[in-house]
Amino acid sequence: MKFQIKRLIFQLSLLISANLGAMGLKTGFCYPFFYCNACPAATSACPIRAIQVGVFKAELKWKLIMYPLMIIGTVGVLTGRAVCGWACPIGLLQRATGKVPRYLKSKFPIIKKIGSLKIERYLRYTKYFVFLALVIATPIIVGFMFTDVCPVGMLTGTFPTLLLNPGKYMSNAFFAAALIVFMLFLILIFLIERGWCRYFCPVGAMLAPFNKVSFLHIEVDKEKCIHCNVCSDVCPMAIDVPNMNRDPECILCGKCVTTCPKSVISFKKV
Amino acid sequence: MKKKILVVQITLFVVFAGGFGSMILFTDSYDQVFNRIVSVTCLSCLKLDPKTSSEFIFETANGKLHPDFVLDNLTKGPVFLAYRKDVCTYCDEMEPLLMDIFNISFEKEDVFSKTLDFNGNDITFIHVNRDHSSKALRDSLHVYDKDNINGVPMFTIVTINYDHDGIVKPYYSTLYSKLGLTNDEDIKDFLSEIIEDSITLYNDNIAGYIN
């Protein structure tokens, strides 16, 4: 079976397991990826929500802060950001929309040009800012929580609730702001491949540093590499693969591994 | 170099996996996440308000009996239950209005029951912060969640009325979130009206009520 098909099956399995709440399975675990506990079928808690509840208005609840961090840390040390490429339902969504930005890039050279600007590299730090500012700082200081306007919550919590209960709900004061953020999220993922993972995902920000030390990682044999850049072209995270060394942006999707004409890119377990 | 990384990897794995395992085994973190986040939704976070109906009904939402702490207080007058969680924007916005209506003050973490005077009638106010309350209080939310919303803030008023068999039984209504209203005065008026209705029902039927 082709590697990418295996990955798709894995992603779909994880999507199903994230929604076993529909069959009554509700647990006290946190997802190691981004998914909303307000989803009518959610099995577990969103790690971002747990951290926010833990820090809200500086009434620190250490267990609620440490618990998701331990889960993310355990998964991160084992597999790095493979969670984004293999498990996250929002990653699966962006895999599905990935062809659109690629098409747009080929049709409109300006998009390709924007993507190759030097500033793009620095924009990737935005997700760390989102994590520190909107997940940690604003809940502590002003009580504003990222989850109040979270586009993932809108997609996996609000919309399914509306669809499953027609006529039973109406929008509240947070709806309009969240809808605007959601529209921007949609525009982003249709304009830039994996745009959410690259620039904004706070769970990605928590997992990314673990790529530097994770057991599972991708390695390039730089001596045998012919720098054809086929790997970089297929990389959904637009990484300079031939020169990468445990890149925090790598989601271990394996596209570079399977397309390398010289087979010099491989998964390593230690 | 590879050996150094391996040492770091193993150390970090032991710290994180050990920390996670210890939290599961030796703390109530799992229960806290379940009770505070997974089991009941915060309606402001859901960005939706249920379309509220103030209709009174006899049948409990989950088919279970009315909790003892409600039945005990129902001998004194109607019982008003206010459910919330620690982190819930609309709960924070609704509580000052409740304080105004009942002329009391409390902190959001407080779990208490108090019989109050409401326009010359006794009414028991029970504040249930699910993050700090007992299981019996926590579970009572599902008894009165008549529209199957499973979210907070939720407000229940329990009174008594004759059912179709001519027996006086607990009779309740549940309202959610900001009751579908935006103006604070409208919310207070709506709640006050439903409380007055419950008192009228109570006074009309108390003679036939046997707990």
Per-residue pLDDT tens for A136-191?
Answer: 999 999 988 898 899 999 999 999 999 999 999 999 888 999 999 999 999 999 99
Residue range(s) defining the domain that contains residue B50 = 42-208
Chain B CB contacts of A153 below 8 Å: 45-47
- Do B12 and B63 lie in one domain? The reply is no
Q: Which residue, among B28, B33, B147, B179, would best test binding to A if mutated, counting the most A CBs under 10 Å from its CB?
A: B33
**Interchain contact, A148 vs B23, CB within 8 Å:** no
- Do B33 and B108 lie in one domain? The reply is no
- Residue A109 pLDDT greater than 90, yes or no: no
Both tokens of B132, joined, read: 């700090």
- Do B115 and B49 lie in one domain? The reply is yes
The closest CB to that of B9, out of A52, A64, A215, belongs to: A215
Task: Point out which residues pair with B131 in neighbouring strands.
Answer: none
Q: What is the pLDDT of residue B117?
A: 93
Q: What is the pLDDT of residue A118?
A: 82
Both tokens of B24, joined, read: 């599961």
Q: Which residue, among A31, A51, A70, A212, would best test binding to B if mutated, counting the most B CBs under 10 Å from its CB?
A: A70
Closest CA to B44 of B85, B99, B100, B97: B85
Q: What is the pLDDT of residue A1?
A: 64
The structure tokens 């004061």 sit at A173
The closest CB to that of A70, out of B16, B42, B43, belongs to: B16
Q: What is the pLDDT of residue B180?
A: 84
Chain B CB contacts of A175 below 8 Å: 47-48
Chain B CB contacts of A66 below 8 Å: 19, 23, 29
Do strands B112-118 and B151-152 pair parallel, antiparallel, or not at all (unpaired)? unpaired
**Interchain contact, A63 vs B28, CB within 8 Å:** yes
The structure tokens 């108390």 sit at B206
Q: What angle do CA B88, B195, B107 make, to 5 degrees?
A: 35
Q: Residues B58, B141: contact at Cβ < 8 Å?
A: no
Both tokens of A137, joined, read: 């700082």
Alpha-helical (H) ranges within B50-170 are 68-73, 89-102, 135-144
Both tokens of A32, joined, read: 């190691």
- Do B115 and B145 lie in one domain? The reply is yes
- Do B32 and B47 lie in one domain? The reply is no
Q: What is the pLDDT of residue B211?
A: 63
- Do B112 and B61 lie in one domain? The reply is yes
Which residues, other chains included, contact A172 with Cβ-Cβ below 8 Å and sequence gap of 6+?
B43, B44, B47, B48, B49, B90, B177, B178
Q: Residues A30, A50: contact at Cβ < 8 Å?
A: yes
A220-265 pLDDT per residue, tens: 999 999 999 999 999 999 999 999 999 999 999 999 999 999 999 9
- Residue A73 pLDDT greater than 90, yes or no: yes
Dihedral angle of Cα A174, A180, A186, A191, to the nearest 10 degrees? -150
- Residue A119 pLDDT greater than 80, yes or no: yes
Do strands B112-118 and B121-129 pair parallel, antiparallel, or not at all (unpaired)? antiparallel
How far does chain A reach from its first CA to its final CA, in angstroms?
A: 25
- Do B131 and B69 lie in one domain? The reply is yes
Q: Which residue, among A46, A62, A74, A140, would best test binding to B if mutated, counting the most B CBs under 10 Å from its CB?
A: A74
How far does chain B reach from its first CA to its final CA, in angstroms?
A: 76
- Do B31 and B55 lie in one domain? The reply is no
A232 sits in the region (left: phi over 0; alpha: psi -120 to 50; else beta) called alpha
- Do B149 and B61 lie in one domain? The reply is yes
- Do B151 and B196 lie in one domain? The reply is yes
**Interchain contact, A168 vs B27, CB within 8 Å:** no
A49-65 pLDDT per residue, tens: 999 999 999 999 999 99
**Interchain contact, A30 vs B33, CB within 8 Å:** yes
Q: Which residues of A27-54 are buried (b: 16+ CB within 10 A; e: fewer)?
A: ebbbbbbbbbbbbbbbbbbbbbbbbbbb
The domain total for chain B is 2
Q: CB pairs under 8 A, 24+ apart, for A44-49?
A: A44/A18, A44/B33, A44/B38, A45/B33, A45/B34, A45/B37, A45/B38, A46/A147, A46/A152, A46/A153, A46/B37, A47/A71, A47/A72, A47/A203, A47/A206, A48/A135, A48/A146, A48/A147, A48/A150, A48/A202, A48/A203, A49/A147, A49/B37, A49/B45
Residue A66 to residue B16: CA distance in whole angstroms: 10
CATH number of the domain where residue B97 is located:
3.40.30.10
pLDDT per 10-residue tile (average), chain B, 211 residues: 90 98 97 94 90 90 94 95 93 95 93 93 96 94 94 96 91 93 92 95 89 63
